A and B are shown apart, each in its own frame.
Chain A
């Protein structure tokens, strides 16, 4: 039974570029949440998708956008990358019993 899968594992991008991160939720889960975790900090909520719609958003600029597909997988897009966007991006699926997290995508912006 596959858990949450994220791709790619690591990514290096140049400032100003755009990036797309991907997530497949755990089987049976239909809600996907994205978190950004800077080094040494706790995960910060970016947004959550359910039924292909963004239903809640954290305190992140519009450069951060997402999408959910009919099979519940999701993408996180970040435009006009800044050095400060360097972080571990985590995808989580599940309900209130507790999230299941993917291993994350480590994004480095140079």
Chain B
């Protein structure tokens, strides 16, 4: 079973609106990361939030983390057509037998309509 689950599976908004995607996970984590993927190509790392952080900003991105609820949200403000992509959360479990493996959720497909 997957560690992370994004919600919604798909989201369609008008340009200029804000987009919010949520991620829930199951086990304790060291950190949670958000990635973006355009048209089935490679993933691009957007932001990493550590388990002892509650909120982080990067440009138009705002990520929150609630470890008590095992959930995170990604907010994209003032969306642009170029933000159309799939967004994945990935967790780095703290209880693990190895090292740097991160586990991805199934993703949210975001469409921003011009």
Contact = CB atoms under 8 A, between A and B. Distances in A.
Chains A and B come from one and the same complex = yes
B99 A100 contact: no
Give the bracket for the number of chain B residues in contact with chain A: 20 to 34
Interface residues of A, number: 31
Interface string A69-105: 0000000000000000000101010111111111110
B40 A39 contact: yes
A56 B97 contact: yes
B42 A103 contact: yes
A56 B45 CA distance: 22
A48 interface: yes
A103 B90 CA distance: 18
B101 A33 contact: yes
The 7 closest A-B pairs by CB, nearest first: A56-B98, A98-B45, A42-B104, A101-B42, A103-B42, A101-B43, A42-B106
